[in-house]
């Protein structure tokens, strides 16, 4: 037999494994083992440092004073134990942001852990005499440093059809933008240099994607950091991205021709039939499974060749 228990209990019994093993071997029945276990636990608890160290009164008085100086209007949430605080801030463009502070018992000697929804790491510089106001000011400064990045991705989110991610977070640096039916471009924006040419990866049938790749390569030298990222992409690719005002997302978000679903384990159909008259999209996993089951398909290294499930080309 063996003991399965919660991690808290496991932590308490950590140094008593050999004793428990010995008791498990020697006890004639379950009831007598439970009595032994109770005895071992009592000893273990006496010798265990208190699992929840009570925080000194100075911790609370210091934290409440800091929050009062900062202003309660900037506090979005405080937990009942006063160990987690969420502060809200607005950047110069009116975007709302949150910073979560996890405070340890040695605050303010040690800084709290700071959790933010940023595309870059957020490191806090801290001295024992610092307070929450210093963290808040560093948070505001970091928001301003990322203003251009969020401006660029907000323009893309507002004016084009973004197929992925469906609900981008503030830390998300990639966007898959619809260009036409079953044709899209995946861009990776550098948060530190958002107005520079992003990494671009085209998805779609070769006949639709190759001209776009050629235009990008030929016009790369025309990239102008003074104008917006979206405007640059329009000019380099010599296209107008489908507008949110005119078209619906369903015009681009076509279901997979094999499983008839749009999302499969978080993935969307990104493999497209090369025949211009077909152009049916499939999930990579569905297509791979389908082609593997066909006696006519062949594989060369990591590439599989076969007929389209839709048009047999």
Q: For the segment 235-281, what is each residue's pLDDT rounded down to a tens digit?
A: 999 999 988 777 666 666 678 888 888 878 877 787 888 777 887 88
CATH number at residue 226: 3.10.110.20
Task: Choose the final residue of a domain: 253, 268, 296.
Answer: 253
Share above pLDDT 70 across residues of the chain, in percent, rounded to a whole number: 96
3-state DSSP call for residue 32? Answer: helix
Tell me the pLDDT tens digit for each residue of 160-191.
999 888 889 999 999 999 998 778 899 999 99
Whether the per-residue pLDDT at 53 is higher than 70: the answer is no
HSE at residue 79, side-chain half, CA atoms within 13 A, is 9
Distances from the Cα of 215 to the Cα of 34, 164, 174, 290, angstroms = 76, 23, 21, 34
Residue 104 has pLDDT above 70, yes or no: yes
pLDDT at 133: 93
pLDDT surpassing 80 at residue 138? yes
What does pLDDT average to over the chain?
89
The phi, psi pair for 299, rounded to 5°, reads -125, 135
Residue 153 lies in a domain: no
**241 and 260 within one domain:** no
Tell me: do 140 and 188 sit in the same domain.
no
3-state helix, strand and coil shares in percent for the chain, rounded to the nearest 5: 40, 20, 45
Residue 304 lies in a domain: yes
Tell the burial category of 226 from Cβ atoms under 10 Å away from its Cβ (0-12, 13-18, 19+). exposed
Flag whether 2 is in a domain.
no
* Domain presence at residue 278: yes
Provide DSSP, 119-133: SS-------TT--HH
Residue 127 and residue 101 in one domain: yes
Question: In the predicted model, what is the mean pLDDT of residues 189-208?
Answer: 91
152 located within any domain: no
Structure tokens at 279: 């152009």
CATH code for the domain in which residue 75 is found = 3.10.110.10
pLDDT at site 297: 85
Distant-in-sequence contacts of 78-84, Cβ < 8 A, 24+ apart: 82/55
Tell me the C-alpha distance between 7 and 92, whole Å.
45
Indicate whether 168 and 137 sit together in one domain: no
Residues 6+ apart with CB under 8 A from 67: 75, 78, 85, 132
Looking from the CA of 153 toward its CB, the CA atoms found within 13 Å total: 28
Looking at 59-63, 192-196, 206-210, which range is the least confident one? 206-210
User: How many helices (H) and strands (E) are present in the chain, helices listed first?
Assistant: 9, 12
Q: Is residue 228 part of a domain?
A: yes
List the one residue out of 182, 177, 241, 233 whose CA is nearest residue 207: 182
For tokens 């077909």, what's the residue? 278
> If you search the block for the tokens 């990866």, which residue do you land on?
201
pLDDT at 218: 95
- The CATH number of whichever domain residue 307 belongs to comes to 3.30.40.10
Q: Is 52's pLDDT higher than 70? A: no
At residue 205, the pLDDT reads 79
State residue 230's pLDDT score.
95
Q: Do 170 and 132 share a structural domain?
A: no
In a domain? residue 199: yes
- Looking up tokens 């307070």, which residue turns up? 131
Out of 209, 228, 253, pick the residue that ends a domain: 253
Query: In the block, which residue shows the tokens 């990045």?
Result: 149
Q: Has residue 51 got a pLDDT over 60? A: no
Same domain as 79, residue 38: no
Which of 255 and 283 is assigned the larger pLDDT? 283
Neighbours of 103 (CB within 10 A): 21
Tokens of 20: 């428990």
Q: What is the pLDDT of residues 289-304, one digit of tens each?
A: 888 888 888 888 888 8
Is 112 within the bounds of a domain?
yes
> Model confidence over 38-49: pLDDT tens digits?
999 988 887 776
Whether residues 181 and 120 share a domain: the answer is no
Distance CA 97, CA 90 (A): 6
Residue 35 is part of which domain span? 7-51
- For residues 247 and 259, membership in a common domain is answered with no
Of the three residues 98, 115, 145, the one that is the final residue of a domain is 145
- The whole-number average pLDDT for the span 65-83 is 93
282 by DSSP, 3-state: which?
strand
Q: What is the pLDDT of residue 87?
A: 97
pLDDT for res 1: 77
Same domain for 186 and 231?
yes
The region of weakest confidence among 15-29, 148-162, 214-228 is: 15-29
d(CA 76, CA 98): 8
The yes-or-no verdict on residue 50 having pLDDT over 60 is no
Query: What is the pLDDT, as a whole number, of residue 259?
Result: 86
Given this model, what pLDDT does residue 206 score? Answer: 83
Note the helical H segments in 123-239: 132-145, 147-159, 206-219, 229-237
β-strands 303-305, 298-300 pairing: antiparallel
Decide: 185 and 179 in contact? Cβ < 8 Å.
yes
Give the per-residue pLDDT at 302. 81
- Domain check: are 222 and 294 in the same one? no
> How many other C-beta atoms are found inside a 10 Å radius of the C-beta of residue 297?
13
The count of structural domains within the chain is 4
Residues 41 and 69 in one domain: no
């Amino acid at each position: 037999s063996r003991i399965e228990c919660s991690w808290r209990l496991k932590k308490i019994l950590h140094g008593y494994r050999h004793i428990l093993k010995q008791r498990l071997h020697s006890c004639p029945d379950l009831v007598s083992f439970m009595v032994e276990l109770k005895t071992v636990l009592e000893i273990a608890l006496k010798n265990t440092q208190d699992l929840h160290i009570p925080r000194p009164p100075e911790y609370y008085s210091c934290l409440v004073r800091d929050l009062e100086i900062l202003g309660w209007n900037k506090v979005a949430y405080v937990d009942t134990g006063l160990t987690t605080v969420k502060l809200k801030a607005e950047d110069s463009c009116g975007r709302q942001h949150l910073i979560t502070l996890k405070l340890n018992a040695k605050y303010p000697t040690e800084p709290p852990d700071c959790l933010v929804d940023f595309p870059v790491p957020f490191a806090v510089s801290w001295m024992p005499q610092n307070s929450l106001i210093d963290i808040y000011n560093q948070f505001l400064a970091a928001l301003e440093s990322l203003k251009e990045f969020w401006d660029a991705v907000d323009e893309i989110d507002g004016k084009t059809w973004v197929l992925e991610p469906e609900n981008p977070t503030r830390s998300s640096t990639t966007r898959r933008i619809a260009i036409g039916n079953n044709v899209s471009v995946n861009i990776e924006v550098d948060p530190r240099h958002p107005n520079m040419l992003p990494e671009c990866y085209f998805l779609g049938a070769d006949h639709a994607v190759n001209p776009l790749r050629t235009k990008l390569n030929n016009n790369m030298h025309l990239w102008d950091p003074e104008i917006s990222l979206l405007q640059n992409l329009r000019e380099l690719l010599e296209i107008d991205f489908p507008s949110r005002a005119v078209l619906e997302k369903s015009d681009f978000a076509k279901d997979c021709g094999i499983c008839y679903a749009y999302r499969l384990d978080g993935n969307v159909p990104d493999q497209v039939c090369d025949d211009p008259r077909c152009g049916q999209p499939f999930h990579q996993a569905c297509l791979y499974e389908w082609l593997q089951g066909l006696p006519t398909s062949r594989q060369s290294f990591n590439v599989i060749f076969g007929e389209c499930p839709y048009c047999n080309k």
